[in-house]
């Protein structure tokens, strides 16, 4: 079966040039193939589009009506293809961006004004959630994910480091003492983060790759780092949180960093996007923007 759009293009060229042979030369097709395309349209529509005679060729009434529709449809196809091609080279359109809540509020939202000045044709649709979203099913162009990535069919680029630290308020340490080893944590009120699917709130991982698991307990668990930060600032207990959450408090002295006998974990901040197709210019532009903004050392790690 001949391609319908190709047949419409052939018919429009025949109508414009007035004969089959001229259309064949213009399209680099045989005259037989041009005739087949037009005949296929007539068979599909069940009407004659062209009156052919020894003196030439004229459009039927149906042919005139169909030609107008073909010209409109072909123009729309060309416009759609041009638009799609432009999206690959010029950042524009709506960027659907999914980001973890605390990181999005602290680091992404404040950066959007600068990104908009650089790329005014891009509108950012920002989703803030700590839930693990499905980019393809839910229609996200890009997600920021923090931690060690699971194997998946997604494309990921590390755009910044992410360190975690154990810390507490001076008032807590004055009352309960300062732990020196990871074994000492069992004697402290450790406020747990509930979202990690593997460790949960009652196990903290140490070592650069999280190879040492330490059981902990405490009288507060939360699925949000800012809630744990608030409790720690009030002197409730120890927290083990990323520096982008606790960095300001460490710099101001309202929290104190606790160094133990094992190193803390190191994670990455990753830009994650669906694989299998070239990323649109709006996605590439935003990833490059964040990589530049966070390099060589992100602001949340400075001075701590």
User: Domain locations in the chain?
Assistant: 4-87, 93-160+267-301, 163-266
Q: Running along the chain, 304 residues long, what does each successive block of 10 average in pLDDT?
A: 84 87 88 91 90 80 90 81 66 93 95 96 94 85 86 81 94 97 96 77 88 94 94 97 95 97 90 82 94 89 86
Are the C-beta atoms of residues 80 and 42 closer than 8 Å to each other?
Answer: no
Question: What's residue 1's pLDDT?
Answer: 57
Token pair recorded at residue 77: 């196809």
Residues 6+ apart with CB under 8 A from 240: 164, 165, 166, 190, 193, 204, 264
CA atoms within 13 A on the CB side of 247: 18
Question: What's residue 84's pLDDT?
Answer: 66
Question: What's residue 89's pLDDT?
Answer: 66
CA atoms within 13 A on the CB side of 127: 20
Question: What's residue 303's pLDDT?
Answer: 84
Q: Does domain 93-160+267-301 have CATH number 3.40.190.10?
A: yes
Token pair recorded at residue 263: 């190193």
The fold for domain 4-87 equals Arc Repressor Mutant, subunit A (1.10.10)
User: Quick one: 239 exposed, middle or buried, by C-beta within 10 A (0-12, 13-18, 19+)?
Assistant: buried
| Rounded-to-integer distance, Cα 37 and Cα 222, Å | 67
Respond yes or no on whether the N-terminal peptide bond of residue 296 is cis (omega within 30° of 0).
Answer: yes
| Rounded-to-integer distance, Cα 220 and Cα 227, Å | 10
| Rounded-to-integer distance, Cα 214 and Cα 152, Å | 28
Same fold, 4-87 and 163-266: no
φ, ψ dihedrals at 90, nearest 5°: -125, 120
Greatest distance between any 2 Cα atoms in the chain:
107
Token pair recorded at residue 280: 């649109």
Which residues, listed in sequence order, are joined to residue 271 by a DSSP beta bridge? 144, 157
Question: What's residue 81's pLDDT?
Answer: 73
Query: Full-prediction pTM beyond 0.75?
Result: no
CATH number of 163-266: 3.40.190.10
């Amino acid at each position: 079966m001949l391609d319908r759009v190709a047949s419409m293009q052939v018919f429009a060229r025949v109508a414009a040039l007035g004969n089959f042979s001229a259309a064949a030369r213009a399209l680099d097709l045989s005259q037989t193939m041009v005739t087949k395309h037009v005949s296929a349209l007539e068979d599909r529509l069940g009407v004659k589009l062209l009156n052919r005679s020894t003196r030439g060729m004229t459009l039927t009434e149906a042919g005139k009506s169909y030609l107008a529709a073909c010209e409109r449809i072909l123009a729309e196809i060309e416009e759609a293809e041009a638009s799609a091609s432009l999206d690959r080279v010029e950042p524009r359109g709506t960027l659907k961006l999914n980001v973890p809540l605390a990181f999005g509020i602290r680091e992404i939202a404040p950066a959007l004004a600068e990104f908009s000045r650089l790329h005014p044709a891009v509108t950012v649709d920002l989703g803030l959630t700590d839930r693990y979203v499905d980019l393809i099913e839910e229609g996200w162009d890009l997600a920021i994910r923090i931690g060690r990535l699971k194997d998946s069919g997604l494309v990921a680029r590390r755009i910044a480091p992410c360190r975690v630290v154990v810390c507490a308020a001076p008032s807590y340490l004055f009352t309960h003492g300062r732990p020196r080893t990871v074994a000492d944590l069992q004697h402290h009120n450790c406020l747990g983060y509930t979202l990690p699917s593997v460790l949960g709130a009652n196990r903290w991982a140490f070592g650069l790759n999280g190879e040492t698991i330490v059981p902990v307990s405490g009288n507060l668990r939360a699925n949000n780092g800012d809630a744990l930060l608030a409790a720690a600032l009030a002197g409730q207990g120890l927290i083990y949180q990323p520096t982008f959450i606790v960095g300001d408090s460490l710099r101001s002295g309202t929290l104190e960093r606790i160094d133990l006998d094992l190193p803390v974990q190191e994670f990455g901040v990753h830009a994650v996007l669906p694989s299998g197709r070239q990323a649109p210019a709006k996605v590439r532009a935003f990833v490059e923007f964040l990589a530049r903004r966070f390099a060589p050392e992100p602001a949340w790690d400075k001075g701590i």
